[in-house]
Amino acid sequence: MCGIAGLVLSPDAPPPDPAVIEALTRAIAHRGPDGSGHTMVGRVVLVHNRLSIIDLVTGDQPLFAGSAALVANGEFYNYRELRRDMPEVAFSSNSDCEPPLHLWLRQGPAYASALRGMYAIAIHDRATRSVTLTRDPFGIKPLYYAAITGGLAFASEPQALLNAGLVSRAVRPQARDELFQIQFTTGAETIFPGIHRLLPGETLHCRDGQIVERTRLAALPDGPPETISEADALARLDRALEESVDLHQRSDVPYGMFLSGGIDSATLLTLMARLNDKPVLAFTAGFAHPGAADEREQAAVVARALGARHETIEVSEAMVWRHLPEIIACLDDPVADYAIIPTWFLARRAVQDVKVVLSGEGGDEIFGGYGRYRTAMRPWWLGGKVMRARGNFDRVRVLRQHPGAWRDGMLAAEAQATRPGRTRLMVAQEIDMADWLPNDLLIKIDRGLMAHAVEGRTPFLDKGIAAAAFLLPDALKVNKGMGKWILRRWLEQNCPAAQPFAPKQGFTVPIGQWIGNQGARLGKLVAAQPGVAEIAYPDKVEALFRRSNARRHGFAAWTLLFYALWHRAHIQGLAPEGDVFEALSRV
């Protein structure tokens, strides 16, 4: 995995400032510690920091062919097949990123339809004075851009644009309302005014510093549910799963996987054990807190059944307070999802042995796993309701002004997903694929792993898996009150030790209890933070932290703590030094 950045300026703009180029390179260095490079032609600059995974010797970037140059952050899992289909090309490297460059030279912006992988790409063509920016259809890899004086700037992370002084540090209130109500933000606009996301599957074609064309690839197949038997669906799913996991294991460096107690990661380990001659290295996190949901025991059962080498870590309250400022600082595009905590610690442990991990993100969205889907499937007179109808602060009265219009982004996603022939379940799945998946789960795994220079791969988010699973009839996704029915049936046949039909335990970080242990101390510190003081009543914040053991109050307290630390790092521009109490004491 890597980091990319660049400038796309008009011909009459001043030449690119070397200090800005250096700042962009430095800001994304953690994403690619194995090397860096850049190219500057006229008013266009491409910057690349490399984490070497495939072609360790000749795969440095930028890559050049004809009149074009490419930088990419990602993996193209079908690169061998793409090379085979271009026998006339004399490739200059063994890099998986070179075939997309040659595809672009032949097909222009339509080239992305042939790619299979996770990626954010920038291609500069000197002959046409154009720059093409592309993001994969699932939004696995991030890419951001901003209009600046004289043209555009882009980067793998918003903080690079901020640290280079290209965009001012400010908060867009509607995005902040979304963050507080649903823990992530939606759509193309980020929380930073002027910084935009490339949407999943989007390609921007730019010329002379201006966007001249936008196209977009869909992640999911269109159409109504198909008619297929369970036996045929299982056979097709087995082929698709094996192919995807096999492709996602293509690497010239050691790889492992994250193993929870759930069926998604158990499915991945089952396939990896089938495809590997040596024991698979699996990592699991648990919590040192009485009563906390701890998946280590069930994960160990699955690991033993599949002959995996199983490594576990225990995350304690003291560890969280010590590292929380730097954990939250890595989430420049803010996600108040406390699952970042175990993700960050797992990556810190994994990098001691591997540079690549496979993870189960996307399984719930592709196969219909969430309980909210079952609610959305019912008509309103049977208790059905739209997803995320209520916000996290609706009944927590601490904010000076109640969040308004925070569902506008969700309404847009709902309208886009509602198409003729689709069932309520399919609509709910696509709504989550539009925002929750790329703007929460995938940001969490990207930033949590890249903070330690570990590449995360998500085999469920693959065009082959989507083709095999999304158009299945609802009854093969949700059956007998259980989601992911077809995946459970597959796992029942292939790894019964995973107990795929056992009640779901859930994965919950005991952050509410930990905050409660320090409530009086934390409440005063959080209430005094500039980012919190301008939007919340200090006395009510302190009272909230004192009663944070209640679930609703605990999540609200966590969100305020998250926002206080995030605001310090990305709006005030302060380094995340010291533990949480030391950091918050420096007002």
Q: Determine, yes or no, domain membership for 527.
A: yes
Question: How far is residue 281's CA from residue 442's CA, in Å, rounded to a whole number?
Answer: 22
Contact 296, 346 (CB under 8 A): no
My answer on whether 250 and 159 are in the same domain is: no
Task: Identify the pLDDT of residue 59.
Answer: 74
My answer on whether 234 and 194 are in the same domain is: no
My answer on whether 87 and 19 are in the same domain is: yes
Angle between helices 551-570 and 317-329 (to 10 degrees): 50
Task: Identify the pLDDT of residue 426.
Answer: 97
Q: Determine, yes or no, domain membership for 506.
A: no
Contact 242, 276 (CB under 8 A): no
Task: Identify the pLDDT of residue 478.
Answer: 97
User: Residue 62, preceding bond cis, omega within 30 degrees?
Assistant: yes
Q: How confident is the model at residue 505 (pLDDT cuts 50, 70, 90)?
A: low
Task: Identify the pLDDT of residue 561.
Answer: 98
Residue with tokens 């807190």: 289
Summarize pLDDT for 314-364 with one digit per residue, the tens.
999 999 999 999 999 999 999 999 999 999 999 999 999 999 999 999 999
DSSP 8-state class, residue 535: T
Q: Determine, yes or no, domain membership for 353.
A: yes
Task: Identify the pLDDT of residue 1.
Answer: 60
**Average pLDDT of span 410-431:** 94
Task: Identify the pLDDT of residue 367.
Answer: 98
Residue with tokens 């709504």: 431
Q: Identify the domain boundary among 216, 248, 276.
A: 216
**Average pLDDT of span 129-144:** 97
β 63-65/195-197 pair status: unpaired
DSSP 8-state class, residue 144: E
Residue with tokens 């030391």: 582
My answer on whether 51 and 78 are in the same domain is: yes
Catalytic (active site) residue 2: yes
**Is the pLDDT confidence value at 289 over 80?**
no
Give CA separation, 147 vs 9, 153, 210, 224, 232, in Å. 10, 7, 9, 40, 50
Q: Determine, yes or no, domain membership for 222.
A: no
Task: Identify the pLDDT of residue 387.
Answer: 86
My answer on whether 34 and 110 are in the same domain is: yes
Q: 39 is written with which tokens?
A: 């190219």
Q: How confident is the model at residue 230 (pLDDT cuts 50, 70, 90)?
A: very high
My answer on whether 203 and 288 are in the same domain is: no
My answer on whether 524 and 488 are in the same domain is: no
Mean of the per-residue pLDDT values of the chain? 94
3-class secondary-structure state, position 354? coil
Task: Identify the pLDDT of residue 382.
Answer: 66
**Average pLDDT of span 229-242:** 98
Task: Identify the pLDDT of residue 507.
Answer: 55
Identity (one letter) of the amino acid at 422? Answer: R
**Which one from 2, 97, 206, 495 is the annotated catalytic residue?**
2
**Average pLDDT of span 390-405:** 93
Q: 325 is written with which tokens?
A: 């400022």
Task: Identify the pLDDT of residue 260.
Answer: 93
> What range defines the domain where residue 539 resides?
511-585
**Average pLDDT of span 453-470:** 97
Question: How far is residue 453's CA from residue 348's CA, in Å, rounded to a whole number?
Answer: 9
Question: How far is residue 167's CA from residue 193's CA, in Å, rounded to a whole number?
Answer: 8
Alpha helices in 470-518 (DSSP H): 485-494, 511-517
Summarize pLDDT for 206-227 with one digit per residue, the tens.
999 999 999 999 999 999 999 9
**Is the pLDDT confidence value at 437 over 80?**
yes
My answer on whether 159 and 306 are in the same domain is: no
Task: Identify the pLDDT of residue 53.
Answer: 76
Summarize pLDDT for 9-49 with one digit per residue, the tens.
999 999 999 999 999 999 999 998 888 899 999 999 999 99
Give CA separation, 444 vs 142, 171, 295, 449, 529, in Å. 11, 20, 20, 8, 24
**Is the pLDDT confidence value at 467 over 70?**
yes
Question: How far is residue 478's CA from residue 376's CA, in Å, rounded to a whole number?
Answer: 12
Kindly report the CATH number assigned to the domain that includes residue 190.
3.60.20.10
**Is the pLDDT confidence value at 550 over 70?**
no
Q: Determine, yes or no, domain membership for 537.
A: yes
Contact 53, 73 (CB under 8 A): no
Q: Which residue would you say has higher pLDDT here, 52 or 476?
A: 476
Q: Determine, yes or no, domain membership for 224.
A: no
**Is the pLDDT confidence value at 527 over 90?**
yes
**Is the pLDDT confidence value at 173 over 80?**
yes
Kindly report the CATH number assigned to the domain that includes residue 430.
3.40.50.620
Question: How far is residue 306's CA from residue 358's CA, in Å, rounded to a whole number?
Answer: 16
Percent pLDDT > 70 in the chain is 97
Q: Determine, yes or no, domain membership for 345.
A: yes
My answer on whether 494 and 515 are in the same domain is: no
Question: How far is residue 474's CA from residue 115's CA, in Å, rounded to a whole number?
Answer: 29
Q: Identify the domain boundary among 191, 216, 241.
A: 216
Q: How many domains does the chain have?
A: 3
**Average pLDDT of span 165-176:** 97
Q: How confident is the model at residue 386 (pLDDT cuts 50, 70, 90)?
A: confident
Q: Which residue would you say has higher pLDDT here, 52 or 399?
A: 399
My answer on whether 317 and 185 are in the same domain is: no
Q: Determine, yes or no, domain membership for 339.
A: yes
**Is the pLDDT confidence value at 52 over 90?**
no
Summarize pLDDT for 175-211 with one digit per residue, the tens.
999 999 999 999 999 999 999 999 999 999 999 999 9
Question: How far is residue 172's CA from residue 191's CA, in Å, rounded to a whole number?
Answer: 5
Question: How far is residue 343's CA from residue 274's CA, in Å, rounded to a whole number?
Answer: 26
Using alpha carbons, select from 430, 403, 479 the residue that is nearest to residue 181: 403
Q: Identify the domain boundary among 473, 498, 523.
A: 498
Task: Identify the pLDDT of residue 137.
Answer: 98
Beta-sheet strands, E only, within 57-129? 63-65, 68-76, 117-125
Q: How confident is the model at residue 55 (pLDDT cuts 50, 70, 90)?
A: low
Task: Identify the pLDDT of residue 573.
Answer: 96
My answer on whether 283 and 364 are in the same domain is: yes
Using alpha carbons, select from 29, 65, 347, 58 the residue that is nearest to residue 160: 29
Contact 267, 306 (CB under 8 A): no
Percent pLDDT > 90 in the chain is 86
My answer on whether 193 and 330 are in the same domain is: no
Task: Identify the pLDDT of residue 586.
Answer: 85
